[in-house]
Amino acid sequence: MHHVVAISGGKDSTALALRLAEVEPRDYTYVCTPTGDELPEMFEHWRKLGDLLGKRILPVMAHKGLNGVIAEQRCLPNNRRRFCTRILKIEPYRRWLKDHTPCVSYVGLRADEEGRAGGAYSNIDGVEMRFPLREWRWAEADVWAYLEQRGVTVPERTDCARCYHQRLGEWWRLWREHPDIYAEAEAQEAGFGETFRNPRAIHGPPRSPSFA
């Protein structure tokens, strides 16, 4: 029986992996699903977390990455076309689980987000799902308290560098701190005549240094 912990790298999955190793020690396999568009601090966090867990976090990645999927789909992902998560995260993890049955897949959904669905892989033969944070009745405050106790921080941004969920301030931060990635996103928007941005944003991302 394989015991697989899915680690996005955010606060919930980070706390899940660390606490699970404490209260239910066993030979876990830790899996993440990078899109290839994460910022450098995200990969550094996965590396440090692997050190704390005493085991490397295994990347399960679609070979095309985000840019390859954008080229294949001939459009940008946005709040109406959310193909990126399905192609780059859900489908690769499903394929990986099918090759590693029987297994238990542990996912970090909290007790205070009961309406949120996620990790619905129990329809795969041989896969059992567990949500330990819900079993422990952990809410967001419990997760933060545990991470503080362990002295563990998570990156400010754990999703893709160019994600349609980003707020204006996050686009500004990308422009300021990673101008090369921002310039590539601008070029993709110009090439497709579309935008990554959520239309609910009041203003678009900065287009010149005068925004600062």
pLDDT tens profile 28-45: 999 999 999 999 999 999
Look at residue 162 and tell me if it is in a domain.
no
Examine the domain organization and report whether 87 and 177 are in the same domain: no
Give all strands (DSSP E) within the chain, no chain letters.
2-6, 28-32, 58-59, 103-106, 127-130
Examine the domain organization and report whether 103 and 187 are in the same domain: no
Examine the domain organization and report whether 13 and 80 are in the same domain: yes
Number of domains in the chain: 2
pLDDT of residue 209 exceeding 60, the answer is no
Domain that holds residue 112: 2-150
Examine the domain organization and report whether 45 and 105 are in the same domain: yes
Write the burial class of residue 171 (CB in 10 Å: 0-12 exposed, 13-18 middle, 19+ buried): buried
- Per residue in 85-102, pLDDT (tens digit) is 889 999 999 999 999 999
Examine the domain organization and report whether 175 and 136 are in the same domain: no
Examine the domain organization and report whether 22 and 123 are in the same domain: yes
Examine the domain organization and report whether 129 and 175 are in the same domain: no
Q: What is the pTM of this model?
A: 0.86
Look at residue 57 and tell me if it is in a domain.
yes
